[in-house]
Structure 1
């Protein structure tokens, strides 16, 4: 996108939004106007003749108390009248419109009832005034004035807000009134407007499957146990999300899939689940495999003859979102909320589509894209090694014990795909199995820059003479191919040395779902005969280079 000049006017620090705009805009000249001088800044802008070779934008992001002295007095419990507040907003709008006349575009977030005020939304202060009613009335005034404006674009913050969007420590120490997720969301809305203006609106949505189009992990839960449909609140939310996507598809937006799953199993679920709204025919392309998602998305773009700047990627996993956003900065990667009940409002709030074409053109849009000339190749994808290193992964290993037993058994019994034997155990049977002094069970927990993932893998083995034989090896599908498997093998190497063992063996027991484990073992091990593997102990004597720390905990619950 072309270079721009961006001025910011606020009663709080909003500069982080500039950082989130940079992936969409090649160069930004940023002018941070005087802090908490909202009206004076607008007066200065209105008296400045625009003489800028690049578009000059204004992000005017203010709270109501910064433009209405009467509302500020109301917050202190002083007598106040709604009519006086509205008169002050009208005066503020006059200054805003004068400034807008000298600028290319003004972006105006609507007012919110901010937690820093410490108000209950429905309590009445100073007579009969209610905070929520004041904010709603103020926003109605702005909507009536500017919903059809060509120079002032309103931004609704409500879909971006979540329970912890305000951090009091950041407010009092740095005057940051919003979380990073809010700044990113506002940047996405600004960039969406600019893309539409430049004729580069988003044309395709690439979707994950597990916990995105439905609830649950298909490979572990099975189609029949997916959370989808009217039998549960979240199941209904996933179904409504699919309905929203279907409406977009009918208006010409291309849908595609990028999921780490078994393709045949995933397509069967899509085509046969009773509560699926979308079918295989609704997706123009898909990559359902265990490969890197950034690479898959680039292949999908080539197949559809779309530029990467035309794509949106929706995935519930923050690690996968980070991978795609860092490798393919032209792709829009919104932060999906943790709660699927907010998926529809999040998607609806992305003002990134241009529906000005006729319905006939919409229905033919996929074919038209395939006939377009290939777009220019985007920047080179970051390597997998670079991305893995950026995750700052920390590995913690601990023997099976009271504090991790419940999660260990749960993971052991529900993991189907990356599971060597799919052995199922209860707490009692596992303890009985461990009574043999030559057997051990270990759990692996993971932490990265996004936070703690908890126990994500398990390992069981027994010693026979000079051999360690693996009885259990299972890894959550959410951490496939991130080096967790190699870390388990490194632990085995260390344990083999402690036990004076020279060889590590494993026997794969095939099921309908655990072929990914077999494929991984064939890559990591020597297959001496069908399904029988042997690993020289020196092969994994060192850790993968991207693991930032590796901790083996002591065998107690202290």
Structure 2
């Protein structure tokens, strides 16, 4: 398989035939081949580099993945590792794979090929795990590892189940061992082939003739489903996810119209198929919320009626408090969605909108094309499977911040209510009693750091995104200074809300590669306290002579535009340049007043490693020994 490069086309879309936004599962095999040929002939910079490796022939799967990604607006380039040579290729630092520098590696092995007996298969799976460990150690790539599925051969026929273990039990054991091995490794994502083939039909997914002729393990009719699953994983790995699911109410959360049927007349619960379908939909929404997706509601209804329904319909899985925001009234829904985004301090491009009304869906698509719109099927029994198809709500790893996200945003509403009681902003900021704690990036925080760099748009100084592999290297790289920031105030714990990565050179200088702060923590001067702390790290802990930084303007990161000048940095490029470069010298570095935030440090001496010496860097409140003092 040759490398395939597909270009950006107009407006950074890959859609000469209108592919962007299309459902790739509706395309025929002929359509996929035709689109793949046309896309391959283009040229340009890819979004993602993907390698394939294992003991099978992957063609024509890359063509399907190419088209599926094009429908999602993504541009891939592919590389095939030689058949059966994954470990050898990984161990060779000069191999084509290492020159290719993949962002993701999809690994798939078939147990059937030349491997007989239970113990031999267990040993083979152990070797697969060792190969994955080698891939993690020798590349920065995220590994998409497929599990194994029983092809359903009769074996001992009706007596199969009497075996010890029987075939299904053995495959379950092998897959369980793989999952256990990599459960806490953020750079491994398990591609559940066993589940996919069970859904599709194991005998239908397999093409034994092609496997025997060319080691192609899957029937072409199975390729769209597998490509769809890989696309889910790829989009999540690239941070192409959304933050908030906004749902309609009437004939969406329940069957019926609240204004006509009343709170006890709408149907959701047990007793009939329609009511139970809506009950299951609400249960699914709770599961989605547990991934860290915010739930909001936007409906044309009387607010009092909706409040009464949630008060008396305790038989519903969803409660009013499960929603971080409700926009109930008679304004148009595009206005409602904009109000929700503004209240949550996120962009409208972070929203998914779910409605049963095709007219409302079309209105949003025209008024707010950046919102992902999902039309519920007319058959309410299909609603849950419809939610499963929303890839932008997927998460490969759920952090503590995800579990607590709804609570964080509810605390934000309480803060806003408190804000209205103050005339002067400084008084309000002091009333928050904010404390931030700085800590070196550690392996257990890599997943959260990855989320921050991949998902933060408003306060993102350079727009640079870091892969999990690169962040893991930052933990042990003496040339990098990587800091995570935790925040809390009198309303509660905000979690890990900021991250900064600096690079050190041979010169007595550090460069701020990127600085990000979560949108829910903006508006309280955290950037001032954080830059004060970075000055302390650079000019007191090491000490260095210069700190440089960049601001790369985008459509969304205007909150960063004046941060560096206000912190005393000097602009060293023209103000109208696409990239604004700044410099701060040790002798001109001053503390920027920020007395409403208490700053503490934990284990910051680890940033300096064996070269650490200053005694003032004990855990606890930060303090400078010179003119940069913090309380």
TM range (shorter): 0.3 to 0.5
User: TM (normalized to structure 2)?
Assistant: 0.43
User: TM (normalized to structure 1)?
Assistant: 0.48
